[in-house]
A = this chain, B = another copy of it.
Amino acid sequence: MGAQISAGDTAWILVCCSLVLLMTPALAFFYGGMVRRKNVLSTLTLSYVFMSLIGVQWVLYGYSLSFGPDISGLIGGLDFLGFQGVGAQPNIAYAKTIPHELFASFQMMFAVITPALITGAFVERVKFKSFLLFSLLWATLVYDPLCHWVWGQGGWLKEMGVLDFAGGTVVHIAAGFSALAFAMVIGPRKGHGKVPMEPNNIPLTVLGTGLLWVGWFGFNAGSALGANGVAVNALVTTNTSAATAGLVWMLLSWLDGRPSTLGIATGMVVGLAAVTPACGFVTPLAAMVIGAVSAPLAYYAMRFRERRKLDESLDVWACHGMGSTWGTIATGLFATVAVNADGANGLFFGNPAQLGIQIVAVMVTIVFSFGMTYVLAKALHVSIGLRVSPIEEDVGLDISSHGERSY
């Protein structure tokens, strides 16, 4: 029938913009609690700055590259530069019942938080200027194309039929494997593996977790782009996966010592990341399985990473990368059109082909994001340098990069 604005759908997605925006501060605090006291402000800034940086980039050209008219399935055209032509009428290709500008704005919040996720890899040692440069390049050369492939009208992975409801590939796998690549280039923090690096303020991390969970409802249920049954199902599956993963992680850390607060919080976030691609396609009970499996997967990925002495400091790869790799594949197992008529069935509902598509999409995302990030980081490393000096690292980035002290 075409484009007819629904005030209800518009209301919900306006709210989701607010909820997803909230996730960036939430992430900042989630991360900020885990670093050492001398790097708290620096860590907060690494996330917050994206609200500014991508807030400008997206309006200027990011949205256009991602969602502009398709160019050979690879990238969007420049028609939407400066949000031109992105107005109060719906863009039928993307969302029939809300203003085009609202779709663009909701997508902006995703573009903001994704690179912020990566910062967990290089906190406590990155040079601020190089970080800014890397971030802008990453947003332009990694995020925007990938976003177009998976969600843009005509994008090649979308055409292939990949199911990624709210960003398992575009957001979490991309961030996780980029984090891995960056950590390999920048190298470990001074003293990593020798001195214990105790989190300076776990309550901040716990606060961040709570706000992340709330914001994730906007992220996942908002991806239905309307206030409807699919949104409701996404909200419930999101909650269920997070709940389950938190519980399982608690048990895992209990077995290895004691039921740790940080562990429960981490499990919750892993469950949220894992269910992200699946949330609009699977039932609550399937989400319980997705959450339950994601916890040990990320848990042991973390230990593996530690044994390899790799300082991917706040475990973006283990939590988001591995969590969502599993979630995207699990979508190929558990998806059912009973939940979402616009989706597809997965292996367990008689459609093994979907699983294949999912695996291809995962692999493409991994190779592309890891490879591009490795090259970008390496180029910056050998040119202007990625790290602060050892003395600045000792003093802490709060003072040395920002001239401030936290508390």
Chain A residues within CB distance 8 Å of chain B: 5-12, 14-15, 17-19, 21-22, 24-26, 28-29, 32, 40-42, 44-45, 48-49, 51-56, 59, 82-83, 87-89, 97-99, 101-102, 104-105, 108, 128, 198, 200-204, 206-207, 209-211, 213-214, 217-218, 221, 226-233, 235-236, 239-240, 242-244, 246-247, 250, 257-262, 264-265, 267-268, 283-285, 288, 398, 401-407
CB pair B22–A288 under 8 Å, yes or no, is no
Residues in B with CB closer than 8 Å to A5 are: 228-229
CB pair B14–A231 under 8 Å, yes or no, is yes
CB pair A204–B203 under 8 Å, yes or no, is yes
CB pair B240–A55 under 8 Å, yes or no, is yes
Q: Which residue of B lies closest to A267 (CB)?
A: B52
Residues in B with CB closer than 8 Å to A14 are: 12, 15, 217, 221, 227, 231-232, 235
Residues in B with CB closer than 8 Å to A89 are: 229
CB pair A10–B8 under 8 Å, yes or no, is yes
**A266 to B88 CA separation, bound complex (whole angstroms):** 31
- 10 pairs across A/B with beta carbons < 8 Å? A5-B229, A22-B211, A25-B206, A28-B210, A51-B246, A52-B244, A53-B247, A55-B239, A108-B239, A258-B403
CB pair A10–B285 under 8 Å, yes or no, is no
CB pair B83–A261 under 8 Å, yes or no, is no
CB pair B44–A83 under 8 Å, yes or no, is no
Residues in B with CB closer than 8 Å to A88 are: 228-230, 232-233
Residue of B17, B232, B405 near A101 (CB, 8 A) is: B232
Residue of B10, B211, B221 near A232 (CB, 8 A) is: B10
**A82 to B88 CA separation, bound complex (whole angstroms):** 38
Task: Say yes or no: A105-B232 contact (C-beta < 8 A), given A55-B243, A83-B284, A261-B45.
Answer: yes
CB pair B41–A244 under 8 Å, yes or no, is no
Residue of B26, B56, B259 near A247 (CB, 8 A) is: B56
Q: Which residue of B lies closest to A407 (CB)?
A: B201
CB pair B108–A48 under 8 Å, yes or no, is no
Q: Beyond the given A7-B8, A51-B242, A260-B402, could you list 9 further A-B residue pairs with CB under 8 A, ordered by the A residue number?
A: A7-B11, A7-B12, A12-B14, A15-B18, A51-B243, A52-B247, A55-B240, A59-B288, A108-B239
Q: A96 CB to closest chain B CB, in angstroms?
A: 12
CB pair B244–A45 under 8 Å, yes or no, is no
Q: A211 CB to closest chain B CB, in angstroms?
A: 7
Q: A289 CB to closest chain B CB, in angstroms?
A: 12
